[in-house]
């Protein structure tokens, strides 16, 4: 089966084709709207929807050309059904359904976070169940127990801001451009991690839940007390990043101990963070366990993860019941049906 995947939940339009016989991606294309939203300091949902409308068809044509196949070679269309910005999801869903209706092939609405979670399985070196997944994106921060692919048990989550959101908001406060996460991470590389010591939120009490909104305020107060030179900025960024990384690592350790699992996967935009990847690698090596991460290109939003997650489920016979368009802004990962064994 060749499954076309379409991602349009936020500010990236991503399309890809996954071939289940070859067990590989045939190609993927991505257009990022960040340049457009940068002017406003954040994603403007209405503009995001309109831009997905503009980009989907040209990107699809380019993808077919890159893969050297035509639309009749596609067996199904997987698209991000949620969670995400409702207008942006609606554009991707309507596009997917119309295309599939015209080609008389099935569709499947994919959970965006399952896409992220499964992205490490696109690599040659792969985790085997059971494993834990640290999902860290702009909208979610979750630690998930994966006993079987397709069934997800939430062990811990943020009670307020997501890790990516904390990166973006802190970066904005420090006057960095949007999206601030990667820029703040770059700045942190030049900083002294020992100059400012920020709180590791919620590590002094038991449990795996997290909180990142207070940290942001603490960082702002500290930043305002400095002269705000480039070095001050870099040192604050380094201290902030270390606090986030340490907190995530402490919570992952607890989850590993609680479950007795010894394989860990990181996924989602913040999974591209070098310091986080290095620290998690070290932590898993020290425990005699294994660490897995997606290719950097597949950490942030992309079509490949949707094509792959959709392909796994469609291969197991799952599909949408009809061509009605039903995106959903909120959708708990635990509500997903299991993937039947074929
Ligand atoms: O997964 P993603 O592309 O979109 C969502 O599903 O939200 O994640 C985007 C988030 C943003 O908050 C962005 O600032 C953050 O991931 N991000 C990073 C890095 N690259 C992306 N945060 C820290 N360090 C990075 N290198
Ligand atoms: Zn995402």
Tokens representing 10 are 């936020």
The residue whose CB lies within 8 Å of the most ligand 1 atoms, and thus the one to mutate among 42, 110, 137, is 137
Is the pTM of the predicted complex or chain greater than 0.85?
yes
User: Residue 95: which H helix or E strand, with range?
Assistant: helix 86-103
The residue whose CB lies within 8 Å of the most ligand 1 atoms, and thus the one to mutate among 31, 169, 173, 181, is 181
How far does residue 98's CA lie from ligand 1's centre (Å)?
30
Residues touching ligand 1 (Cβ under 6 Å) are: 10, 137-139, 164, 167-168, 179, 181-182, 185, 268-270, 272-273, 300-301
User: CB of 166 within 8 A of CB of 244?
Assistant: yes
pLDDT digits (tens, 9 = 90+) for 192-209: 999 999 999 999 989 999
User: CB of 156 within 8 A of CB of 251?
Assistant: yes
User: Residue 248: which H helix or E strand, with range?
Assistant: helix 230-259
Report which bound ligand comes closest to the CA of 299: 1
- The values of phi and psi at residue 150, to 5°, are 105, -15
User: Residue 238: which H helix or E strand, with range?
Assistant: helix 230-259
How far does residue 341's CA lie from ligand 2's centre (Å)?
27
Mean pLDDT across 5-17: 98
How far does residue 340's CA lie from ligand 1's centre (Å)?
32
Contacts of 224 (CB under 8 A, 6+ apart): none
Closest residue (by CA) to atom 16 of ligand 1? 269
d(CA 242, CA 244): 5
111 preceded by cis ω (within 30°)? no
How far does residue 254's CA lie from ligand 1's centre (Å)?
24
Rounded percentage of the chain residues whose pLDDT exceeds 70: 99
pLDDT digits (tens, 9 = 90+) for 79-134: 999 999 999 999 999 999 999 999 999 999 999 999 999 999 999 999 999 999 99
Residue 341 has pLDDT above 80, yes or no: no
Residue in this structure with the two tokens 């009670």, named with its chain if needed: 159
How far does residue 139's CA lie from ligand 2's centre (Å)?
8
pLDDT digits (tens, 9 = 90+) for 24-42: 999 999 999 999 999 999 9
How far does residue 220's CA lie from ligand 2's centre (Å)?
26
- The values of phi and psi at residue 128, to 5°, are -120, 145
Residue 179 has pLDDT above 70, yes or no: yes
Residue 342 has pLDDT above 80, yes or no: no
Residue 11 has pLDDT above 90, yes or no: yes
User: CB of 162 within 8 A of CB of 168?
Assistant: no
Measured in residues, the chain has a length of 342
């Amino acid at each position: 089966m060749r499954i076309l995947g379409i991602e349009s939940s936020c500010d990236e339009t991503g399309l890809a084709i996954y071939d289940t016989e070859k067990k590989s991606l045939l190609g993927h294309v991505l257009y990022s709207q960040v340049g457009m939203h940068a002017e406003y300091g954040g994603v403007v949902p209405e503009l995001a929807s309109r831009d997905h409308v503009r980009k989907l068809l040209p990107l699809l044509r380019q993808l077919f050309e890159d893969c050297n196949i035509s639309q009749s070679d596609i067996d199904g269309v997987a698209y991000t059904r949620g969670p995400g910005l409702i207008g942006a999801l609606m554009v991707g869903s309507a596009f997917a359904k119309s295309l599939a209706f015209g080609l008389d092939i099935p569709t499947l609405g994919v959970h965006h976070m399952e896409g992220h979670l499964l992205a490490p399985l696109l690599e040659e070196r792969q985790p085997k169940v059971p494993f834990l997944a640290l999902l860290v994106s702009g909208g979610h921060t979750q630690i998930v127990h994966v006993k079987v692919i397709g069934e997800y048990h939430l062990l811990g989550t943020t009670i307020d801001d997501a890790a990516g959101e904390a990166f973006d908001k802190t970066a904005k406060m420090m006057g960095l451009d949007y999206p601030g996460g990667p820029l703040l991470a770059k700045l942190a590389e030049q900083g002294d991690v020992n100059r400012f010591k920020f709180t590791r939120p919620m590590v002094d009490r038991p449990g795996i839940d997290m909180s990142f909104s207070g940290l942001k305020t603490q960082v702002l107060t500290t930043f305002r007390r400095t002269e705000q030179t480039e070095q001050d900025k870099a040192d604050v960024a380094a201290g902030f990043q270390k606090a986030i990384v340490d907190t995530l690592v402490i919570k992952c350790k607890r989850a590993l101990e609680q479950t007795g699992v010894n394989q860990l996967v990181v996924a989602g935009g913040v999974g591209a963070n070098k310091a986080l990847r290095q620290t998690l690698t070290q932590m898993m090596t020290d425990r005699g366990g294994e660490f897995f991460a997606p290719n950097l290109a597949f950490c942030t939003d992309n079509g490949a993860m949707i094509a792959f997650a959709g392909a796994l489920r469609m291969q197991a016979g799952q599909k949408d019941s009809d061509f009605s368009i039903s995106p959903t802004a909120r959708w708990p990962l635990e509500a997903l049906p299991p993937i039947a064994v074929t």
